[in-house]
Amino acid sequence: MGSIKRGKNTFPGGTYIQELLLYTEEKLSWSEAQSFCRRWHDDLATIYNWEENNDISNLAEDVVSPFWIGLYHDADSWRWSLPEEHFYDGVTRQFRQWQEIQPDNEGPAEHCVSMMDDGFWWDHDCTAVQMPLLCFHDGAPEQHVLVTQRKGWFEAQSYCRQHYTDLVSVRSAAENQALRHKLQHGHTVEAWIGLHRVSYRWSDHSSSSFRSWGKNEPNNQPNNGNNTQMCVAMHHEIWMDWSCEAPFGFLCQNNIVVSETPQPPKIPVTQKVVKIRLRTDSDLKDPAIKQKLLQQLTAVFHQHWDLAHVRLLWRSLRVERESNTNW
Protein backbone atom coordinates (compact mmCIF):
# COMPACT_ATOMS: atom_id res chain seq x y z
CA MET A 1 0.00 0.00 0.00
CA GLY A 2 1.31 3.43 -0.91
CA SER A 3 0.11 6.75 0.45
CA ILE A 4 0.51 10.47 -0.08
CA LYS A 5 -0.74 13.52 1.76
CA ARG A 6 -2.10 16.40 -0.20
CA GLY A 7 -2.09 20.08 0.74
CA LYS A 8 -4.82 21.81 2.65
CA ASN A 9 -8.35 21.96 1.29
CA THR A 10 -11.19 24.01 2.67
CA PHE A 11 -14.73 22.95 3.39
CA PRO A 12 -17.66 24.80 5.06
CA GLY A 13 -16.59 23.71 8.55
CA GLY A 14 -12.85 24.42 8.27
CA THR A 15 -9.64 23.10 6.67
CA TYR A 16 -8.38 19.55 6.18
CA ILE A 17 -5.42 17.64 4.72
CA GLN A 18 -6.35 14.89 2.29
CA GLU A 19 -4.44 11.64 2.76
CA LEU A 20 -4.65 9.21 -0.19
CA LEU A 21 -3.97 5.48 0.26
CA LEU A 22 -3.53 3.14 -2.71
CA TYR A 23 -4.35 -0.56 -2.31
CA THR A 24 -3.08 -2.75 -5.14
CA GLU A 25 -2.74 -6.25 -3.67
CA GLU A 26 -6.44 -6.77 -2.96
CA LYS A 27 -8.78 -6.73 -5.98
CA LEU A 28 -12.38 -5.66 -5.37
CA SER A 29 -15.41 -4.52 -7.33
CA TRP A 30 -16.20 -0.79 -7.16
CA SER A 31 -18.94 -1.20 -4.54
CA GLU A 32 -16.73 -3.52 -2.47
CA ALA A 33 -13.91 -0.98 -2.66
CA GLN A 34 -16.31 1.77 -1.59
CA SER A 35 -17.41 -0.30 1.44
CA PHE A 36 -13.79 -1.05 2.37
CA CYS A 37 -12.75 2.62 2.17
CA ARG A 38 -15.78 3.77 4.16
CA ARG A 39 -15.09 1.17 6.86
CA TRP A 40 -11.37 1.74 7.33
CA HIS A 41 -10.95 5.30 6.03
CA ASP A 42 -13.35 8.04 4.93
CA ASP A 43 -14.30 7.05 1.37
CA LEU A 44 -13.04 6.27 -2.11
CA ALA A 45 -10.83 9.11 -3.30
CA THR A 46 -12.02 12.36 -4.86
CA ILE A 47 -9.55 14.10 -7.19
CA TYR A 48 -9.65 17.90 -7.41
CA ASN A 49 -7.02 19.10 -9.92
CA TRP A 50 -4.18 18.23 -12.32
CA GLU A 51 -1.49 18.52 -9.64
CA GLU A 52 -3.23 15.96 -7.45
CA ASN A 53 -3.88 13.70 -10.44
CA ASN A 54 -0.17 13.79 -11.33
CA ASP A 55 0.84 13.00 -7.74
CA ILE A 56 -1.41 9.96 -7.76
CA SER A 57 0.02 8.89 -11.12
CA ASN A 58 3.54 9.10 -9.67
CA LEU A 59 2.45 7.08 -6.62
CA ALA A 60 1.10 4.37 -8.95
CA GLU A 61 3.86 4.49 -11.57
CA ASP A 62 4.71 0.80 -11.01
CA VAL A 63 1.08 -0.36 -10.92
CA VAL A 64 0.29 -2.25 -14.13
CA SER A 65 -3.50 -2.38 -13.86
CA PRO A 66 -6.20 0.27 -13.27
CA PHE A 67 -7.48 1.08 -9.78
CA TRP A 68 -10.83 2.45 -8.65
CA ILE A 69 -11.41 6.10 -7.69
CA GLY A 70 -14.60 7.57 -6.23
CA LEU A 71 -16.27 8.67 -9.49
CA TYR A 72 -19.26 6.72 -10.76
CA HIS A 73 -22.01 7.08 -13.34
CA ASP A 74 -25.35 7.78 -11.65
CA ALA A 75 -27.95 6.43 -14.06
CA ASP A 76 -30.82 7.55 -11.81
CA SER A 77 -29.88 11.19 -11.35
CA TRP A 78 -32.67 12.56 -13.55
CA ARG A 79 -33.89 16.01 -12.51
CA TRP A 80 -36.00 18.84 -13.90
CA SER A 81 -34.49 22.10 -15.07
CA LEU A 82 -37.07 24.14 -13.14
CA PRO A 83 -35.92 24.05 -9.49
CA GLU A 84 -38.69 25.94 -7.65
CA GLU A 85 -40.12 23.70 -4.92
CA HIS A 86 -43.56 25.34 -4.94
CA PHE A 87 -44.07 24.25 -8.54
CA TYR A 88 -44.11 20.62 -7.37
CA ASP A 89 -46.38 21.04 -4.33
CA GLY A 90 -48.90 18.22 -4.24
CA VAL A 91 -47.43 16.47 -7.29
CA THR A 92 -44.47 14.24 -7.97
CA ARG A 93 -41.17 15.00 -9.64
CA GLN A 94 -40.94 11.34 -10.60
CA PHE A 95 -43.49 11.14 -13.43
CA ARG A 96 -41.88 9.53 -16.50
CA GLN A 97 -43.17 8.51 -19.92
CA TRP A 98 -40.20 6.71 -21.46
CA GLN A 99 -40.36 4.96 -24.80
CA GLU A 100 -40.07 1.22 -24.20
CA ILE A 101 -36.34 1.02 -25.01
CA GLN A 102 -35.46 4.29 -23.24
CA PRO A 103 -33.39 5.66 -21.66
CA ASP A 104 -30.56 3.74 -23.32
CA ASN A 105 -27.67 6.25 -23.08
CA GLU A 106 -26.46 5.06 -26.47
CA GLY A 107 -23.16 6.76 -27.17
CA PRO A 108 -22.32 7.64 -23.49
CA ALA A 109 -23.54 11.28 -23.41
CA GLU A 110 -27.33 11.04 -23.73
CA HIS A 111 -28.20 13.04 -20.64
CA CYS A 112 -31.06 15.22 -21.94
CA VAL A 113 -34.66 14.30 -22.79
CA SER A 114 -37.11 15.03 -25.58
CA MET A 115 -40.79 14.28 -26.11
CA MET A 116 -42.09 12.80 -29.35
CA ASP A 117 -45.48 13.70 -30.82
CA ASP A 118 -46.77 10.33 -29.58
CA GLY A 119 -46.10 11.48 -26.00
CA PHE A 120 -43.13 9.18 -25.31
CA TRP A 121 -39.70 10.35 -24.17
CA TRP A 122 -36.19 9.71 -25.53
CA ASP A 123 -32.72 10.49 -24.20
CA HIS A 124 -30.26 12.33 -26.48
CA ASP A 125 -26.84 13.90 -26.52
CA CYS A 126 -27.39 17.38 -25.03
CA THR A 127 -25.19 19.28 -27.50
CA ALA A 128 -24.85 17.16 -30.62
CA VAL A 129 -28.62 16.95 -31.22
CA GLN A 130 -30.66 20.04 -32.10
CA MET A 131 -34.46 20.26 -32.16
CA PRO A 132 -37.41 22.51 -31.18
CA LEU A 133 -38.20 23.10 -27.52
CA LEU A 134 -41.13 23.29 -25.10
CA CYS A 135 -40.95 26.20 -22.64
CA PHE A 136 -42.94 26.85 -19.48
CA HIS A 137 -44.34 30.38 -18.95
CA ASP A 138 -45.39 30.71 -15.30
CA GLY A 139 -48.48 32.86 -14.74
CA ALA A 140 -49.35 33.19 -18.43
CA PRO A 141 -52.80 32.17 -19.76
CA GLU A 142 -51.02 29.70 -22.05
CA GLN A 143 -48.24 28.23 -19.93
CA HIS A 144 -46.81 25.79 -22.49
CA VAL A 145 -44.96 27.43 -25.36
CA LEU A 146 -43.65 25.57 -28.41
CA VAL A 147 -40.54 27.18 -29.93
CA THR A 148 -39.76 25.70 -33.35
CA GLN A 149 -36.20 27.03 -33.61
CA ARG A 150 -33.74 24.14 -33.45
CA LYS A 151 -31.31 24.26 -30.52
CA GLY A 152 -29.18 22.01 -28.34
CA TRP A 153 -30.59 21.28 -24.88
CA PHE A 154 -28.45 23.82 -23.01
CA GLU A 155 -29.24 26.49 -25.61
CA ALA A 156 -32.91 25.59 -25.23
CA GLN A 157 -32.67 25.93 -21.45
CA SER A 158 -31.06 29.37 -21.74
CA TYR A 159 -33.65 30.51 -24.29
CA CYS A 160 -36.61 29.43 -22.13
CA ARG A 161 -35.13 31.06 -19.03
CA GLN A 162 -34.48 34.30 -20.90
CA HIS A 163 -37.85 34.61 -22.64
CA TYR A 164 -40.21 32.63 -20.38
CA THR A 165 -39.59 30.74 -17.10
CA ASP A 166 -37.75 27.51 -17.97
CA LEU A 167 -37.94 24.37 -20.04
CA VAL A 168 -41.18 22.56 -19.31
CA SER A 169 -41.52 20.08 -16.44
CA VAL A 170 -44.01 17.26 -16.95
CA ARG A 171 -45.67 16.36 -13.65
CA SER A 172 -48.55 14.12 -14.66
CA ALA A 173 -50.14 12.08 -17.45
CA ALA A 174 -52.58 14.95 -18.07
CA GLU A 175 -49.74 17.43 -18.62
CA ASN A 176 -47.96 14.93 -20.84
CA GLN A 177 -51.11 14.59 -22.95
CA ALA A 178 -51.50 18.38 -23.23
CA LEU A 179 -47.90 18.72 -24.42
CA ARG A 180 -48.38 15.90 -26.89
CA HIS A 181 -51.33 17.81 -28.41
CA LYS A 182 -49.18 20.96 -28.49
CA LEU A 183 -46.59 19.14 -30.61
CA GLN A 184 -49.23 17.64 -32.91
CA HIS A 185 -51.00 20.95 -33.48
CA GLY A 186 -47.65 22.60 -34.14
CA HIS A 187 -46.73 19.88 -36.66
CA THR A 188 -43.60 19.17 -34.63
CA VAL A 189 -42.32 15.62 -34.34
CA GLU A 190 -40.02 16.09 -31.35
CA ALA A 191 -38.99 18.79 -28.84
CA TRP A 192 -36.78 19.21 -25.77
CA ILE A 193 -38.34 19.09 -22.30
CA GLY A 194 -36.65 20.01 -19.00
CA LEU A 195 -35.55 16.55 -17.84
CA HIS A 196 -31.78 15.97 -17.70
CA ARG A 197 -29.19 14.38 -15.48
CA VAL A 198 -25.73 14.92 -14.02
CA SER A 199 -24.07 11.77 -15.22
CA TYR A 200 -20.99 11.40 -12.97
CA ARG A 201 -20.84 11.86 -9.20
CA TRP A 202 -18.28 11.37 -6.46
CA SER A 203 -18.77 8.76 -3.76
CA ASP A 204 -18.23 11.33 -0.98
CA HIS A 205 -20.71 13.77 -2.63
CA SER A 206 -17.93 16.21 -3.44
CA SER A 207 -18.67 18.89 -6.04
CA SER A 208 -15.28 18.50 -7.77
CA SER A 209 -15.69 19.01 -11.53
CA PHE A 210 -12.15 17.91 -12.41
CA ARG A 211 -11.90 15.11 -15.01
CA SER A 212 -8.93 13.37 -16.67
CA TRP A 213 -10.59 11.15 -19.27
CA GLY A 214 -8.49 9.15 -21.71
CA LYS A 215 -9.07 9.42 -25.45
CA ASN A 216 -12.66 8.46 -26.39
CA GLU A 217 -13.55 8.08 -22.72
CA PRO A 218 -16.01 7.65 -21.19
CA ASN A 219 -17.29 5.30 -23.88
CA ASN A 220 -19.84 3.25 -21.89
CA GLN A 221 -19.21 0.19 -24.05
CA PRO A 222 -21.05 -3.02 -23.14
CA ASN A 223 -19.00 -5.55 -21.19
CA ASN A 224 -19.69 -9.20 -22.08
CA GLY A 225 -22.78 -8.06 -23.93
CA ASN A 226 -24.85 -6.92 -20.96
CA ASN A 227 -23.17 -4.88 -18.17
CA THR A 228 -22.59 -1.23 -19.01
CA GLN A 229 -19.58 0.65 -17.71
CA MET A 230 -20.77 2.77 -14.80
CA CYS A 231 -17.66 3.16 -12.58
CA VAL A 232 -14.36 4.96 -13.09
CA ALA A 233 -10.82 3.61 -12.72
CA MET A 234 -7.48 5.36 -13.14
CA HIS A 235 -4.42 4.03 -14.98
CA HIS A 236 -1.34 6.25 -14.91
CA GLU A 237 -2.83 9.74 -15.32
CA ILE A 238 -5.92 8.88 -17.37
CA TRP A 239 -9.42 7.79 -16.34
CA MET A 240 -11.61 5.14 -17.96
CA ASP A 241 -15.12 3.86 -17.36
CA TRP A 242 -15.37 0.15 -16.54
CA SER A 243 -17.93 -2.39 -15.46
CA CYS A 244 -18.40 -1.85 -11.72
CA GLU A 245 -17.91 -5.59 -11.15
CA ALA A 246 -14.35 -5.61 -12.52
CA PRO A 247 -11.77 -6.59 -9.82
CA PHE A 248 -9.28 -3.76 -9.38
CA GLY A 249 -7.14 -2.15 -6.72
CA PHE A 250 -8.52 1.07 -5.23
CA LEU A 251 -7.62 4.49 -3.89
CA CYS A 252 -9.02 5.51 -0.49
CA GLN A 253 -8.92 8.87 1.24
CA ASN A 254 -8.74 10.21 4.78
CA ASN A 255 -9.72 13.82 5.42
CA ILE A 256 -7.67 14.97 8.41
CA VAL A 257 -9.16 18.12 9.92
CA VAL A 258 -6.42 20.60 10.86
CA SER A 259 -8.60 23.58 11.78
CA GLU A 260 -12.23 24.31 12.21
CA THR A 261 -13.93 27.54 11.26
CA PRO A 262 -14.51 29.40 14.54
CA GLN A 263 -18.17 29.72 15.35
CA PRO A 264 -19.54 32.90 16.94
CA PRO A 265 -20.06 32.45 20.68
CA LYS A 266 -23.57 31.59 21.72
CA ILE A 267 -25.20 34.26 23.83
CA PRO A 268 -27.32 32.74 26.60
CA VAL A 269 -30.94 33.75 26.48
CA THR A 270 -32.54 34.68 29.78
CA GLN A 271 -35.76 36.39 30.69
CA LYS A 272 -36.29 38.72 33.61
CA VAL A 273 -39.37 40.60 34.74
CA VAL A 274 -38.87 44.18 35.98
CA LYS A 275 -41.84 45.69 37.82
CA ILE A 276 -42.50 49.39 37.31
CA ARG A 277 -45.38 51.33 38.90
CA LEU A 278 -46.72 54.02 36.59
CA ARG A 279 -49.19 56.75 37.48
CA THR A 280 -50.51 58.65 34.49
CA ASP A 281 -53.65 60.11 32.99
CA SER A 282 -52.79 58.47 29.64
CA ASP A 283 -54.63 55.40 28.45
CA LEU A 284 -52.06 52.65 28.88
CA LYS A 285 -54.27 50.27 26.96
CA ASP A 286 -53.58 52.30 23.81
CA PRO A 287 -50.93 50.34 21.78
CA ALA A 288 -49.37 53.55 20.44
CA ILE A 289 -48.87 54.94 23.95
CA LYS A 290 -47.48 51.66 25.21
CA GLN A 291 -45.01 51.51 22.29
CA LYS A 292 -43.83 55.08 22.87
CA LEU A 293 -43.37 54.39 26.57
CA LEU A 294 -41.39 51.24 25.77
CA GLN A 295 -39.07 53.21 23.49
CA GLN A 296 -38.44 55.78 26.25
CA LEU A 297 -37.68 53.05 28.77
CA THR A 298 -35.30 51.37 26.33
CA ALA A 299 -33.43 54.65 25.85
CA VAL A 300 -33.04 55.11 29.59
CA PHE A 301 -31.73 51.56 30.05
CA HIS A 302 -29.20 51.96 27.19
CA GLN A 303 -27.86 55.18 28.74
CA HIS A 304 -26.84 53.35 31.91
CA TRP A 305 -26.03 49.79 30.81
CA ASP A 306 -24.64 47.92 27.77
CA LEU A 307 -27.81 46.33 26.49
CA ALA A 308 -26.85 45.58 22.89
CA HIS A 309 -28.41 42.12 23.08
CA VAL A 310 -31.36 43.05 25.30
CA ARG A 311 -34.90 43.52 24.09
CA LEU A 312 -37.62 45.07 26.25
CA LEU A 313 -41.19 43.86 25.99
CA TRP A 314 -44.27 45.38 27.58
CA ARG A 315 -46.20 43.09 29.91
CA SER A 316 -49.26 44.36 31.74
CA LEU A 317 -49.62 42.59 35.10
CA ARG A 318 -52.76 44.12 36.56
CA VAL A 319 -54.90 47.19 36.36
CA GLU A 320 -56.17 48.82 39.53
CA ARG A 321 -59.81 49.85 39.43
CA GLU A 322 -59.49 53.29 41.01
CA SER A 323 -56.36 54.49 39.31
CA ASN A 324 -54.88 54.03 35.86
CA THR A 325 -51.83 52.11 37.11
CA ASN A 326 -49.74 49.46 35.33
CA TRP A 327 -46.97 47.24 36.56
Domains of the chain: 2-72+200-260 (3.10.100.10), 78-197 (no CATH), 278-326 (no CATH)
The better pLDDT of the pair 79, 163 is held by: 163
Asked whether the whole model's pTM tops 0.95, one would answer no
Angstrom distance (rounded) from CA 280 to CA 297: 15
What is the tens place of the pLDDT at every residue in 249-263? 999 999 887 655 565
Q: Residue 141: is the preceding peptide bond cis (ω within 30°)?
A: no
Q: Of all helices (H) and strands (E), which one includes residue 155?
A: helix 153-163
What is the tens place of the pLDDT at every residue in 47-56? 989 999 999 9
How crowded is residue 266: how many other Cβ atoms within 10 Å of its Cβ? 6
Between 2-16, 54-68, 292-306, the lowest mean confidence (pLDDT) is in 2-16
Rg (the chain; Cα; Å): 31
Predicted pLDDT at 78: 83
Angstrom distance (rounded) from CA 290 to CA 283: 9
Of 266-275, 283-292, 312-321, the range with the highest mean pLDDT is 283-292
Residue in 316, 273, 272 with CA at minimum distance from that of residue 293: 316
Q: Are 112 and 191 in contact (CB under 8 A)?
A: no
Between 126-130, 304-308, 319-323, the lowest mean confidence (pLDDT) is in 319-323
Give the mean pLDDT of 305-321: 58
Give the mean pLDDT of 86-112: 75
Mean pLDDT of the chain: 81
Angstrom distance (rounded) from CA 245 to CA 105: 19
Q: Are strands 231-235 and 131-136 parallel, antiparallel or unpaired?
A: unpaired
Backbone phi and psi for residue 140, each to the nearest 5 degrees, phi listed first: -85, 150
* Cβ neighbours of residue 71 closer than 8 Å, sequence gap 6 or more: 46, 47, 200, 201, 202, 203, 231, 232, 239
Predicted pLDDT at 294: 72
Residue in 8, 84, 57, 117 with CA at minimum distance from that of residue 237: 57
Give the mean pLDDT of 274-284: 74
SS3 content of the chain, % helix, strand, coil (to 5): 20, 35, 45
pLDDT at 189 over 70: yes
Predicted pLDDT at 8: 47
The CA-atom distances, in angstroms, between 280 and each of 136, 275, 289, 291, 314 are 63, 16, 11, 15, 16
